[in-house]
Amino acid sequence: FTYGLFIVLAFFATLWLALKRRKNLGEDHVYNISIISLVAGLIGARIAYILTNPQFFHSFFDIIALWEGGLSFFGGLILALIADFLYMKYKKLNFAEVIDIFAPPFILGQAIGRFGAFLSGVNPGLPTGVPWAIYHLGEYRHPAALYNVIADLFIFFILLKLENKKFINKKSGNLFLFLLILLGIERFFLDFFR
């Protein structure tokens, strides 16, 4: 329940911030892209998780039981981007410009969703003896999901700081590209604790 609640909160925070940043993009497009991203993201995240962890799925009920966890970040990101690209192509919107609008809202929503994962005990980290370890699954572990929250918020503030810099504004899509680079770095380092 907690994880689902935070996914809903993440969606509305993302939508709210995207509406604030929409520039010349129509409100209807912001709503449509947000809903498409949410639905395609959840489907892509679930499909990728099922493909990489088939041993956990024995029935159709197992596949649709999203409330039990089991989402793959990059699967969700890839399918959401494909769906968004198709929508923007159909509506004749500039894909690079629009994804720059959504870059900071996306990572803020990611941080909120990951906080829900932390509260729900999803993605427990490796066993550790650090003072801030959390007791989970019978031992003290790194709060890996909380590390993700901190990293995502850090990336969010970096993007807000950088978006008015000349090297970012030189070409549409640079802000989102920078987001992807930072996400790759985050994933590389934080996977050592998962």
* Distance from C-alpha of 179 to C-alpha of 5, rounded to nearest angstrom: 25
Helix (H, G, I), strand (E, B) or coil at 141: strand
* Angle of the 2-20 helix axis to the 95-120 helix axis, nearest 10: 150
Instruction: Please name the residues in contact with 131: beta carbons below 8 A apart, sequence gap of 6 or more.
Output: none
Q: Report phi then psi at 92, rounded to 5.
A: 60, 45
Name the nearest CA neighbour of 100 among 179, 184, 10: 179
Written as tens digits, the pLDDT of the chain (194 aa) is 788 899 899 999 999 999 999 988 999 999 999 999 999 999 999 899 988 888 888 888 878 777 666 788 889 999 999 999 999 999 999 999 999 999 999 999 999 999 998 888 877 899 999 999 999 888 999 999 999 999 999 999 999 999 888 777 778 889 999 999 999 999 999 888 88
- What is the model's pTM? 0.88
Name the nearest CA neighbour of 70 among 93, 44, 94, 96: 44
Helix (H, G, I), strand (E, B) or coil at 94: coil
Q: Report phi then psi at 26, rounded to 5.
A: -65, 145
* Distance from C-alpha of 46 to C-alpha of 75, rounded to nearest angstrom: 8
